[in-house]
Amino acid sequence: MNVVDAVTSAVARVRGEVLAPEDETAQIRAAIGQLPGVELDSDNHRIREYAIQVGVGKHFKIEVELLERVGSLELAAAPVVAAFVPTAEGYVIVRRYWACPGEMLVRVDGSDVRFTLQASARFRVDMKRLFEHGLYHPYVRGFYHWWVAQPSGTIVLDSWYALEPCDERERERQATMIDRRLAERAAR
């Protein structure tokens, strides 16, 4: 199944059927949830390396802009925007974690996943590259926004709308925090 085509078709089908715009978001979520292999995690639908979110709010547009900005950095930890579809009330965003094609993403928080040396090294390089471009991801402080691709072990993050400007002091603080988190889950 081509995930982007399936999602955009589901959105188009619902948009053609819904009479009241206020019902659209819930019906689009339901239609995406019925696609083969899709699982619901919090407010995201997930299938393999894709995270699909339906909703309202300016953070969707902000995230699209930020992901476009960091796209040239080729961060394995960051997704690309595979689709951004407007709806009557908001948007559907399809994120694709390009560094782990066809793999299942497992949330680090609440699991017993471990980080390989190779995955940890790549994650450090990614975060350093982000720092060098004056940005940091504030949600590296805890594991709730961390995911690991199975079987490769690639470490990815969600919630890229939260990126913030990074000065030298914050860069050092973040690097220390990242090292601490990676050490907590290092493969034994």
| Residue-wise DSSP of 80-132 | EEEEEEE-SSSEEEEEE-TTSTTPEEEESTTS---B-HHHHHHHHHHHHHHHH
Q: How far out from the chain centre does Cα 140 lie?
A: 13
Domain boundary (96, 117, 144) is at 96
117/172 same-domain check: yes
Alpha carbons 33 and 45: distance in angstroms, whole number:
7
Q: Are residues 70 and 129 in the same domain?
A: no
Determine the pLDDT at residue 101: 96
At 24 the pLDDT is 83
The pLDDT tens digits for 16-49 are 876 666 678 888 888 999 999 998 887 789 999 9
Structural domain containing residue 55: 3-96
Do 35 and 52 share a domain, yes or no?
yes
Last residue of one domain, picked from the residues 96, 112, 145: 96
Quick one: what percent of the chain has pLDDT higher than 70? 97
Closest CA to 148 of 173, 177, 182, 188: 182
For residue 186, the Cα-to-chain-centroid distance in whole angstroms is: 22
66 and 111 fall within a common domain: no
CB neighbours of 90 closer than 8 A, spacing ≥ 6?
25, 54, 55, 56, 57, 60
Complete edge-to-edge strand list for the sheet that includes strand 155-157: 104-107, 146-150, 155-157
What pLDDT sits at residue 60? 87
Number of H helices, E strands in the chain: 5, 10
Give the pTM: 0.90
Residues 141 and 62 reside in one and the same domain: no
For range 167-183, the mean pLDDT: 93
pLDDT tens digits, one per residue of 2-12: 999 999 999 99
166 lies in the same domain as 133: yes
Say how many domains are in the chain: 2
Q: Please state whether beta strands 44-47 and 50-55 pair in parallel, antiparallel, or not at all (unpaired).
A: antiparallel
Question: Do 76 and 122 have their domain in common?
Answer: no
Length of the chain: 188
Do 92 and 109 belong together in one domain? no
